[in-house]
């Protein structure tokens, strides 16, 4: 029930955010991700992105932003399902690698910190509520909207055993507001 209510809230917020309302381009943005994990784990991620101008001069030709997100994951059938809530913060680095049909493509990487609600999820004991959020992906820039395909990995980096990690593929749409 919590998953359905949260999903409904996220979809309403996303529909308002991605509507045709035109806001001025700024340093602030948002993203909505659909995540698919191993063992039939599904979820949504709603992220706030801060594209700080002062970060852009750190590495030549690299776009850097900070992202904070709320994730909700679900595993299993409706009667025996598990839900996990995740809060995450991560610096993200994007580096342009070329064009496909005149669409700019960038590679993206980041390592951040996350807190998960339940340490036993999808048949795995991940031992700790704190997890590192690693990401690697590709981003297509369609002007006002960016789309990304990412691999996400959550683990505690071996600070406590067991540490099986959780792996996801993510499809994301992002826009600045």
Structural domain spans, the chain = 2-176
Band (24; pLDDT cuts 50, 70, 90): very low
pLDDT average, residue stretch 16-24: 43
- Determine the average pLDDT of the residues in 50-61: 90
Does residue 21 register a pLDDT over 50? no
Instruction: Decide the pairing of beta strands 130-141 and 103-116.
Output: antiparallel
49, β-bridge pairs: 29, 67
CA distance 123 to 48: 30
Q: What are phi and psi of 54, to 5 degrees?
A: -70, -20
Rounded CA-CA distance 119/30 in Å is 27
pLDDT at 12 over 60: no
Give CA–CA dist 139/172, Å, rounded.
9
What's the pLDDT tens digit per position in 91-106? 999 999 999 999 999 9
Q: What is the mean pLDDT of residues 74-99?
A: 92
Whether residue 70 is predicted with pLDDT greater than 90 in this model: the reply is yes
- CATH architecture type of domain 2-176: Beta Barrel (2.40)
9-22 average pLDDT score = 49
What mean pLDDT is predicted for residues 12-16?
52
- The pTM score is 0.83
């Amino acid at each position: 029930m919590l998953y359905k209510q949260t999903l409904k809230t996220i979809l309403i917020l996303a529909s308002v955010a991605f509507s045709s309302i035109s806001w001025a381009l700024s340093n602030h943005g948002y993203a909505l991700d659909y995540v698919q994990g191993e063992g039939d784990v599904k979820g949504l991620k709603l992220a706030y992105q801060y594209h700080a101008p002062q970060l852009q001069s750190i590495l030549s030709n690299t776009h850097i932003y900070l992202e904070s997100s709320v994730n909700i994951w679900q595993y299993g059938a409706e009667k025996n399902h598990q839900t996990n809530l995740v809060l995450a913060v991560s610096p993200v680095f994007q580096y342009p690698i070329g064009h496909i049909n005149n669409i700019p493509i960038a590679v993206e990487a980041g390592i951040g910190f996350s807190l998960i609600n339940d340490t036993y999820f999808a048949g795995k004991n991940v031992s700790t509520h704190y997890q590192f959020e690693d990401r690697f992906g590709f981003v297509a820039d369609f002007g006002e909207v960016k789309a990304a395909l990412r691999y996400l990995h959550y683990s505690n980096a071996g600070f406590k055993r067991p540490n099986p990690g959780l792996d996801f593929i993510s499809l994301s749409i992002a826009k600045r507001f």
